[in-house]
Structure 1
Amino acid sequence: MELNEIEQRLNEALQLTEIKVSSEGTHYKIIAVGESFDGLSRVKRQQAIYAPLADKITDGTLHALTIKAFTPAEWQREKLFN
């Protein structure tokens, strides 16, 4: 699956302010930033990311995902400390 296709699916579903997708084989790393994560638990944030990609996860196209989801304020703090 192309990285830009993953980004497009997530942007359409979640209206993200920033998204970064990288891959090594079938393992994908997603960093997503958006207001839609405000007030959601870590599990709910991951579920929000999984939902638009469910068909590709089910068919094995996306074998493994590492997800980090932030609100814009959380992302600013994260960038300061990393």
Structure 2
Amino acid sequence: MNRKDRLQDCLNTALTPMHLEVTDESHRHNVPAGAESHFKVLAVSEAFAGETLIKRHRRVNALVRDELAAGLHALSIHAWTPQEWFDKGGGAAPASPECLGGSKQSG
């Protein structure tokens, strides 16, 4: 099972999201092919109701701590309640900025 599948399984089990997107963005960074090191998560769940943004991020980070310890380098987290998701148009997570590290840095 690859890292994306493990992240999806973990988040689905713990958050019972109405919508979940896990995107491997490693190819956008200066890492070897197949690194599985940079991911973006959009999790839409009632579990986030009443929680501050930092508490939501801490919750997700705690859920994936084993992956972080095993080489997951970066995790972009969009943790929304269903109402927030509907308010944002019910679409995909915001686009990630371009990588400016390593050999991808311009100039």
Query: How does the TM-score come out when normalised to structure 1?
Result: 0.88
Distance 2:70 2:6 in 1: 16
Tell me what 2:51 maps to.
Answer: 40
Tell me what 1:53 maps to.
Answer: 64
Alpha-carbon deviation of 1:50?
1.0
- Bigger relative contact order, structure 1 or 2 (CA pairs below 8 A, ≥6 apart): 1
1:67 aligns with 2:77: yes
Distance 1:16 1:42 in 2: 17
Percent of pairs with identical residues: 35
Distance 1:19 1:6 in 2: 10
Aligned Cα RMSD in Å? 1.8
Q: Which has the larger radius of gyration?
A: 2
Distance 1:47 1:66 in 2: 12
Match of 1:30 among 41, 44, 51: 41
Distance 1:80 1:12 in 2: 22
**Larger proportion of strand:** 1
Question: What is the DSSP-based 3-state SS (H/G/I as helix, E as strand, rest coil) of the residue aligned with 2:17?
Answer: coil
Q: Extract structure 1 runs of 4+ deviating beyond 4 A.
A: none
Query: Unmatched 5+ residue regions in structure 2?
Result: 27-36, 95-107
Aligned residues: 81
Further displaced range: 21-30 or 36-45:
21-30
Distance 2:79 2:4 in 1: 17
